Amino acid sequence: MRHDETLYNDGHNPTKGPPAARSETPARELLEMCDQGNASMREKLERIVDGNANGVSWMNAYLDEYRSAGQQINCSPDDFTVDGPEMLRMMRVAIEHHPRYADLPYGATIMFAYIHHFPCP
């Protein structure tokens, strides 16, 4: 099968618009897809980012409470919640201060955005 006939598992045809975000997609590309995409694409990317942000939050709670590691990745307030659009904003701010984050996979940039906004003492 030729590449241009291949459909991704989400039904996306790579010859008909921007590709779906993959876990190794750099943050810069994800943000560009969000900025250049239509409302439907932005909503999809916001959901992806929201899911990743939830994963980082759960990892942080696991390290703190269940493993008794005594070291969290970030020190966000217990009542802090974030959605996709807010996490995208947090990513952009972290990248402004640390431009190298833009070239990391977006999941890593999400983690570093938490660390940037909520550093531990």
Residue 39 belongs to some domain of the structure: yes
Q: Is residue 15 part of a domain?
A: no
Write out 97-111 in H/E/C secondary structure.
HCHHHHHCEHHHHHH
Number of domains the chain contains: 1
**pLDDT of 47:** 95
Residue 10: pLDDT band with limits 50, 70, 90: very low
pLDDT tier for residue 7 given thresholds of 50, 70 and 90? very low
**Is residue 77 in a domain?**
yes
pLDDT at 3 over 80: no
pLDDT for res 52: 94
- Give me the domain span that covers residue 61: 25-117
Asked whether residue 32 is domain-assigned, the answer is yes
Residue 2 has pLDDT above 50, yes or no: no
How much is the average pLDDT of 62-74? 77
Residue 110 has pLDDT above 50, yes or no: yes
9 is a domain residue: no
Residue 4 domain flag: no
